[in-house]
């Protein structure tokens, strides 16, 4: 379990989901449903709670009210853990289990990027007894105890400790490549390198010395920068000679950046076995938690699929992942697909390699079998 004192956990959740196509249209990317049981943002929050961190500060840039209302209802009802909403937090605390009628008028500049959000809300990030800042993102699928990472960071006295994972080198160009010397210090950090020279990539979460992070953010503010942790802050610290260490992530970690990766990850879940990725039992349960889910090998028109107990199926479902509330009409066939909460498949409809949205819209996914970069185990 992570020691709470001195650590400020922040969750960067600014995505609009533009690369997700219709799946992301009208929907905040952090709230994209995942795995038949939860949403993308729930993984980092579940990890923080399980690591003994009592609070996570939300740093959001896009439609803050929608995201805060959702997280307040889903995560802030039980004692011992809550999502903090920065300058809006008092209004949510005063509302209790309800939602606030009004929020304070914005008196601070809008953030332009993930790192910029740390500056604009510095009063909620730094100060007091904050010795470390744990930075998390809202679109990664993994279960992880942050405690050993924080403990290792403190023991080393480093300015920054980044989580990394080893992958096949042919996919490194899609991520932030890292290299370390024999002493375990970071020597190279390249975002999406054209010709990778390492098989190690940044796993998009890390722990900073709070004072060092604050200093570099102030140094970058006002310059021609991209307001990004990976593209600006970490490279600046590396160029400045700071002591940066690595902490290896062993096990499943997945970056859900496109609908193709989203679709392929669900096909792996439906496949079951050692290549299925993160087992559904280890996922947070935030979407209709009262409904049981299970993997069905072959029974009552369902073959090798992850399905909810409330499924109404009058057709055939194969190698797919279905959320609660789904209805499959008479004579319909669903293959290699993801059906979101409440989706309905019309009688006789034939769906293959697609994501079916709540309103029944079918988003087809091309050549998913060739998309192998998004999942690492």
Q: What is the 3-state secondary structure (H, E, C) of the chain?
A: CCCCCCEEEEEECCCCCHHHHHHCCCCCHHHCEECCCEECCHHHHHHHHHCCCCEEEEECCCCHHHHHHHHHHHHCCCCCCEEECHHHHHHHHHHCCCCCCCCCCCCCCCCCCHHHHHHHCHHHHCCCCCCEEEEEECCEECCCCHHHHHHHHHHHCCCEEEEEEECCHHHHHHCEEEEECCCCEEEEEEECCCCCCCCEEEEEEEEEEHHHHHHHHHHHCCCCCCCCHHHHHHHHHHHCCCCEEEEECCCCEEECCCHHHHHHHHHHHHHCCCCCCCCHHHCCCCCCCCCCEEEEEEECCEEEEEEECCCEECCEEECCEECCCCEECCCCEEECCEECCCCEECCCCEEECEEECCCCCEEECCCHHHCCCCEEC
Q: How confident is the model at residue 272 (pLDDT cuts 50, 70, 90)?
A: confident
Q: Dig out the tokens for 350 from the structure.
A: 């034939």
Is 90 exceeded by the pLDDT of residue 376? no
Q: Report the distance separating Cα 353 and Cα 337, nearest Å.
A: 5
pTM of the model: 0.92
Q: Dig out the tokens for 232 from the structure.
A: 């600006």
Residue 225: Cβ within 10 Å count:
18
Q: Report the distance separating Cα 290 and Cα 301, nearest Å.
A: 23
Q: Is 347:243 a contact under the CB 8 Å cutoff?
A: no
Is 50 exceeded by the pLDDT of residue 373? no
How high is the pLDDT of residue 2? 42
Residue with the bigger pLDDT between 226 and 324: it is 324
Is 60 exceeded by the pLDDT of residue 57? yes
Interval 163-175 mean pLDDT: 91
How high is the pLDDT of residue 8? 96
How high is the pLDDT of residue 109? 66
Q: Report the distance separating Cα 181 and Cα 203, nearest Å.
A: 18
How high is the pLDDT of residue 142? 95
Is 70 exceeded by the pLDDT of residue 156? yes
Shortest CA distance to 312 belongs to which of 332, 295, 298?
A: 332
Mean pLDDT of the chain: 90
Interval 169-183 mean pLDDT: 92
Which sign does the torsion angle of CA 284, 289, 291, 292 carry?
positive
Q: Is 308:36 a contact under the CB 8 Å cutoff?
A: yes
């Amino acid at each position: 379990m992570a020691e709470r004192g001195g650590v400020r956990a922040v969750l960067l959740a600014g995505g609009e989901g533009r690369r997700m196509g219709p799946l992301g249209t009208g929907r905040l990317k952090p709230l994209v449903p995942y795995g038949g049981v939860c949403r993308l943002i729930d993984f980092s929050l579940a990890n923080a709670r399980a690591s003994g961190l009592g609070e996570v500060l939300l740093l959001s840039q896009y439609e803050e009210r929608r995201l805060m209302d959702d997280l307040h209802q889903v995560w802030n009802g039980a004692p011992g853990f809550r999502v903090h909403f920065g300058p809006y937090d008092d209004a949510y605390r005063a509302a209790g289990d309800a939602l606030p009628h009004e929020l304070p008028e914005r008196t601070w500049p809008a953030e332009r990027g993930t790192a910029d959000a740390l500056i604009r809300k510095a009063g909620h990030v730094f100060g007091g007894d904050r010795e470390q800042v744990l930075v998390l993102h809202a679109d990664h699928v993994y279960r992880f105890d942050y405690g050993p990472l924080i403990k290792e960071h403190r023991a080393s006295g480093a300015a920054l400790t980044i989580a990394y994972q080893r992958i096949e080198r042919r996919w490194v160009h899609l991520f932030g490549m890292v290299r370390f010397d024999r002493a375990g210090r970071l020597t190279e950090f390249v975002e999406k390198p054209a010709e990778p020279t390492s098989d190690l990539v940044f796993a998009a979460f890390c722990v900073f010395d709070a004072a060092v992070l604050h200093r570099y953010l102030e140094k970058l503010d006002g310059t021609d920068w991209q307001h990004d942790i990976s593209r600006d802050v970490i490279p600046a610290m590396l160029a400045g000679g700071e002591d940066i260490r690595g902490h290896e992530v062993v096990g499943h970690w997945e970056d859900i950046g496109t609908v193709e990766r989203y679709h392929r990850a669900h096909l792996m879940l439906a496949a079951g076995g050692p290549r299925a990725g993160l087992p559904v039992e280890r996922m947070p349960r935030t979407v209709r938690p009262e409904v049981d889910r299970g993997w069905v090998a072959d029974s009552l028109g369902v073959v090798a699929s992850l399905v909810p107990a409330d499924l109404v199926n009058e057709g055939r479902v194969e190698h797919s992942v279905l959320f609660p509330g789904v209805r499959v009409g008479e004579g319909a066939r669903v293959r290699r697909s993801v059906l979101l909460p409440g989706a309905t498949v019309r009688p006789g409809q034939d769906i293959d390699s697609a994501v079916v949205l709540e309103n029944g819209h079918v988003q087809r996914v091309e050549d998913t079998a060739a998309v192998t970069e998004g999942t690492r185990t």
